[in-house]
Structure 1
Amino acid sequence: MLVSLFICPICQSPLQPAADTWRCDGSLHPKQTSHPFDVARQGYVNLLPVQQKKSKAPGDSQQSIAARQRFLSVGYYQPLRDLVCEKMAVLLSTHQPAMAKDNKSKVRWLDIGCGEGYYTQAMAQQGGIETLIAADISKPALVEVAKIAKAAHLLWYQQEKEDRTDVTVAKTAIYPLVTSAAHLPLRPHSLMGISSIFSPILPEAFAEVLQDKGYLVIAKPDVGHLMTLREALFDSVREHDSDKFLPTLAPYFKLIETHFVSAPLSLSTEPLADLLTMTPYAYRARVENRQALLASAKAEPFNTEAKFVVYILQKITDK
């Protein structure tokens, strides 16, 4: 069982996971109040207090999540998933000897903005991570993450039960959390790595929870991403400025690697509709443009290309 990895999102006291209710010890609350957080039947925990919400139902909608699940399940973005997992595996293998010297055998990783968990599940399956925190502000997304993890027997409380048996199974334990990236319920300097795939970048918050020399893996759309799709939807197309956030990371991280990957897409009406629904194009483009594009895909598949860039950064050692 993890001790003090998690902190209460209300009072920042140590938060102890349990299969039914997570509870903080209240040690940092002025009135020593203990705050409980129930575990949902699917297996996720909601650590997003009302005061941290900017809307009634923040994050991706159920419709957007369902569209993304259908689209990604076909494998359209698998080249990106494979690249991210490959690079993470290298980081983990490089990091293990140093951890052994420091008596730090536990690898804890945060997949922030995990959505429905397409990338998270692949990270868990590759091994090398003891604790994988799947975090997103969307409750419907975390419902899906938890359901899949539970079916695969990878939820944290399922792993604890296995660890108590005579045979120890070296599996990744997934912790699905509804939480804000700006207010991570994690102890400072507790993580070996963070992955942020198409999610907002918060340099200070990420640096706070990463240990010295910890890693940050970021995936973004690259120049030319879905260009023909955007040209069909919009009168003028603004190019992706993929690395515009890098200067904001400079005080905390150094860039050590940059990788590019692309995937040609030939889309019939159904996957094309799902792609539109899972992106901002669903509401930014004019209705008549979306309808004309979908109608054209009935006659012949619409061709475009997904282009991504993956940045690997390392936290600068605290002085």
Structure 2
Amino acid sequence: MSITPFQALACPLDGLPLQCNGSTWRCPSGHSYDIASQGYTYLLPVQNKRSRDPGDSKAMVNARRRFLTAGYYRPIAAAVNRIALADLPANATSSCLDAGSGEGYYLRELAAAVSEEQVLALLGLDISKWAVLVAAKQDKRINWVVGSNAKLPVLSGTLDRVLCLFGFPVYAEFARVLKPGGRLIQVDSGPDHLRELREIIYPHLKPERPVDRQIPQGFSHFSTETVRFPIDLTHGERIADLLAMTPHLYRASAEGRARAAALTALSLGVEVHLTCFERNPD
């Protein structure tokens, strides 16, 4: 197994190639970006930020780290790994970006699944500096950057795989950075995902929105599968972590959050859809 940091970064201001010299990335125009002591690089220009501190908060990141490290979502990671590693050559370096990598759980799981014959260059990107900070502290083999899916700081046509797991896909950017034949693996919640928790925190569940089955421009549909499995949370702390790492924490009323906080155990179902698209030839 060989894991190496992905190097084909682009300047977020002008799109020119970045070169790493010591602890600084520089582009030919003279823009420079320091690598933080924790091992990540901040590539999110202030004009691309919608708020002072975008993305997940420190509390959300820590909740997600505790929950995912406990292994509750390992079946999702296993399915993503199987799809991501399929058809990659054994005699060449392949590259993968996790676009919205959070605290890095899924990239670490992917790194652990790589065979001895494969070489994988990995890049984790998230708009939350708190998430990237936690990720960088846990695995130094991966290149971690603070950035936005809306304008990926990646050179065009340099990636074999892009992961977008419970994230915000920007298909035009994903198509730009993927090589022809490269694959986008997307994970989205299914209609019954965490239903038991939602039934507790909301007075009634809204009807599910119709799923958009359109194939993104520049891609062809490769495969779709659904992953379902039960989980049992036997501590109130884990239930609180699950709620804190989802958008439901802010959507639920105070009464709904109080009902969840009173729980000491909860059995619920996970349902996610894994869709794989292949980048069309240019």
Query: What TM-score, normalized to structure 1?
Result: 0.82
Match of 1:308 in 2: 272
The structure-2 alpha-carbon separation of the partners of 1:123 and 1:18, relative to structure 1 and needing over 3 Å to count, comes to farther
Whether 1:213 and 2:200 are equivalent positions in the alignment is: no
Whether 1:73 and 2:69 are equivalent positions in the alignment is: yes
SS in 2 for 1:91: coil
One-letter amino acid of the counterpart of residue 247, structure 2: P
Could you tell me which of 109, 134, 139 is aligned with 1:149? 139
Matches for 1:53-202 after TM superposition, within 5 Å = 53-92=49-88, 96=89, 105-127=92-114, 128-150=118-140, 154=141, 174-202=142-170
The structure-2 alpha-carbon separation of the partners of 1:240 and 1:90, relative to structure 1 and needing over 3 Å to count, comes to farther
Deviations 1:216-242 (A, max 9, x none): 000111121111111111123135558
Q: CA–CA distance in 2 between the matches of 1:120 and 1:141?
A: 13
Q: What is the CA distance between 1:304 and its match in structure 2? A: 1.2
Q: CA–CA distance in 1 between the matches of 2:210 and 2:165?
A: 12
Q: CA–CA distance in 2 between the matches of 1:275 and 1:2?
A: 30
How many residue pairs get matched? 275
SS in 1 for 2:198: helix
Report the aligned-residue RMSD.
Answer: 1.9
Q: CA–CA distance in 1 between the matches of 2:38 and 2:32?
A: 18
Match of 1:14 in 2: 17
Q: CA–CA distance in 1 between the matches of 2:94 and 2:189?
A: 28
Q: CA–CA distance in 2 between the matches of 1:238 and 1:91?
A: 40
The structure-2 alpha-carbon separation of the partners of 1:91 and 1:243, relative to structure 1 and needing over 3 Å to count, comes to farther
Bigger radius of gyration among the two: 1
Q: What is the CA distance between 1:126 and its match in structure 2? A: 2.1
One-letter amino acid of the counterpart of residue 305, structure 1: G
SS in 2 for 1:48: coil
**Partners of 1:227 and 1:305 within 8 A in 2:** yes
Q: What is the CA distance between 1:106 and its match in structure 2? A: 2.6
SS in 2 for 1:132: strand
Q: CA–CA distance in 2 between the matches of 1:3 and 1:79?
A: 26
**Partners of 1:76 and 1:263 within 8 A in 2:** no
Q: What is the CA distance between 1:19 and its match in structure 2? A: 3.7
Q: CA–CA distance in 2 between the matches of 1:70 and 1:240?
A: 29
SS in 2 for 1:14: coil
Q: Which has the higher helix share?
A: 1
Q: CA–CA distance in 2 between the matches of 1:122 and 1:182?
A: 25
One-letter amino acid of the counterpart of residue 176, structure 1: W
Could you tell me which of 241, 244, 252 is aligned with 2:218? 252
**Partners of 1:223 and 1:239 within 8 A in 2:** no
Residue ranges of structure 2 left out of the alignment (5+ in a row): none
Whether 1:288 and 2:264 are equivalent positions in the alignment is: no
Q: CA–CA distance in 2 between the matches of 1:261 and 1:252?
A: 26
The structure-2 alpha-carbon separation of the partners of 1:288 and 1:264, relative to structure 1 and needing over 3 Å to count, comes to same
**Partners of 1:224 and 1:240 within 8 A in 2:** no
**Partners of 1:4 and 1:14 within 8 A in 2:** no
The structure-2 alpha-carbon separation of the partners of 1:72 and 1:232, relative to structure 1 and needing over 3 Å to count, comes to same
SS in 1 for 2:18: strand
Structure showing greater relative contact order (alpha-carbon pairs closer than 8 Å, 6 or more residues apart): 2
Q: What is the CA distance between 1:115 and its match in structure 2? A: 0.2
One-letter amino acid of the counterpart of residue 284, structure 1: R
Q: What is the CA distance between 1:85 and its match in structure 2? A: 0.7
**Partners of 1:44 and 1:146 within 8 A in 2:** yes
One-letter amino acid of the counterpart of residue 73, structure 2: Y
Q: What is the CA distance between 1:71 and its match in structure 2? A: 0.9
Whether 1:230 and 2:198 are equivalent positions in the alignment is: yes
Q: Which has the higher strand share?
A: 2
Q: CA–CA distance in 1 between the matches of 2:37 and 2:172?
A: 33
One-letter amino acid of the counterpart of residue 57, structure 1: D
